[in-house]
Amino acid sequence: MRFFFYAVEVSIGTMSDKKVKKILIFSLAYYPHVGGAEVAIKEITDRIQDIEFHMVTLNFSEEKREEKIGNVFVHRIGSGNGKWNKYWYQFFAAWEARSLHRKYHFDGIWAMMAHSCGIPAGIFKTLHPEVPYLLTLQEGDPLEHIERLARPVWPLFKRGFTKADMVVAESTFLGRWARRMGFTGPLEVIPNGVDAERFARVQHRVLNTNVVTLVTTSRLVNKNAVDDIIRALQLLPEHVTFTIYGTGPDEIMLKTMAKNIGVETRVKFMGHVDQTRLPVLFNECDIFIRPSRSEGMGNSFIEAMAAELPVIATQEGGIADFLFDAKRNPDKETTGWAVDRDSPKQIAEAVKEILENPEQVVRVKATAKKMAVEKYDWNLIAEQMRSLFGTIIGI
């Protein structure tokens, strides 16, 4: 009997002493500064409770130097939102990571996006080759633009790819980029997720062709081509209006353009909106549109599909993985209406086709919603990422 209790005590002690695996994340920004990459990190790490996550990120203003956000211990470096801080981060993040590694003994590192974190991750991996390194690609800017900016530090930039033990790309488009940049190891395509159920729960209104509202949720930058939507309004009836949720450096230019071409009263600039409000706001709109000039993937498209909005988009970059057009992709189930980049005329034609074919719209929306819910839910994405982490760090 004494032996039995001794064995139980030893077993319990062994379980409680089991080393918790730790992963260090490199991310240029984090909450409260939020974009698609930051949302992805939080949604994934919040769902993985058996791994301890740490992060080296940039201190843009007066955030705490160290704090826990969700399931991530955040370590901020730098001070203020200076012009050169993001370049400074590329090198000093690696040294901060080495210091943290001496304290926490990380089992793996995870870099979020090559253009912002590949350099520090590659430097750290060079100095600590025994620590597995996962690189995630979520770049949305044109790749030629990213590569042009990286030319002064090209060898270090490429090292961010070639030193990785595994790459996760959010689209096949970005997966091809990883190969072109010299990565030869295991590569998985895992898209960003959305809270599909939250968007799907909102009952969408029936399309009223008498008052039609186009909507986009976009950063107001050149790559998102909001200017093409404004130009397309000239080719559409007066009752078609355009609502924009988002801010960015092109806002003044876009407002001036709307005024100059005579559609100012039909364009509403609503500014930044909290993500939690989008399902209800989508319910007040009729057609989602973003004719991107470049796109790594684009969560907004999937959110709109889950909310049962017909979607108009280009098939640039990662959009081609999920937006299938009846004419351009006859071998796939239709999920939206595709247009060429820089083509306001095709945008106007797609809007008219949607308004003139309500039965087709019902079928397409149902197919797109099914895909969004079944393939892009965050729970599924987190499960896939947990499996990859387990493979890399040996869980």
- The 10s digit of each residue's pLDDT in 230-262 is 999 999 999 999 999 999 999 999 999 999 999
pLDDT above 60: residue 325 = yes
pLDDT for 201 equals 79
* Position with higher pLDDT, 7 vs 116: 116
- For the purposes of burial, counting CB atoms within 10 Å of the CB of 29, is it exposed (0-12), middle (13-18) or buried (19 or more)? middle
Element (H, E) at 158: helix 154-162
Count H helices and E strands in the chain, helices first. 15, 14
Could you say which DSSP state residue 203 is in?
A: P
**By the 8 A CB rule, do 302 and 372 touch?**
yes
Q: Give phi and psi for 225, each to the nearest 5.
A: 55, 40
Q: What is the distance between the alpha carbons of residues 156 and 151, in angstroms, rounded to a whole number? A: 10
pLDDT for 196 equals 80
CATH hierarchy code of domain 196-375? 3.40.50.2000
**By the 8 A CB rule, do 285 and 307 touch?**
no
Element (H, E) at 215: strand 212-217
* Position with higher pLDDT, 229 vs 278: 229
pLDDT above 70 as % of the chain: 93
Tell me if residue 155 falls in helix, strand or coil: helix
Whether the model clears a pTM of 0.95, i.e. scores above it, the answer is no
Q: What is the distance between the alpha carbons of residues 151 and 140, in angstroms, rounded to a whole number? A: 19
- Strands 212-217, 287-290: pairing kind: parallel
Q: What is the distance between the alpha carbons of residues 224 and 340, in angstroms, rounded to a whole number? A: 13
What is the DSSP code string of 93-143?
Answer: HHHHHHHHHHHH--SEEEEE-HHHHHHHHHHHHHH-TTS-EEEEE---S-H
| Cα 79 to Cα 9, 45, 220, distances in angstroms | 49, 26, 27
Q: What is the distance between the alpha carbons of residues 135 and 146, in angstroms, rounded to a whole number? A: 16
CATH number for 16-193+378-393: choose from 3.40.50.2000, 3.40.50.300, 3.40.50.720, 3.30.70.260. 3.40.50.2000
b/e map of 68-90 (b: 16 or more CB within 10 Å)? ebebbbbbbbbeeeeeebeeebb
On the question of a common fold for 16-193+378-393 and 196-375, the answer reads yes
pLDDT above 90: residue 207 = no
Q: How many CB atoms lie within 10 A of CB 151?
A: 8
Q: What is the pLDDT of residues 68-123, one digit of tens each?
A: 999 999 999 987 666 678 888 999 999 999 999 999 999 999 999 999 999 999 99
Task: Show me where the domains of the chain are located.
Answer: 16-193+378-393, 196-375
| Cα 327 to Cα 137, 149, 323, 333, distances in angstroms | 30, 37, 12, 11
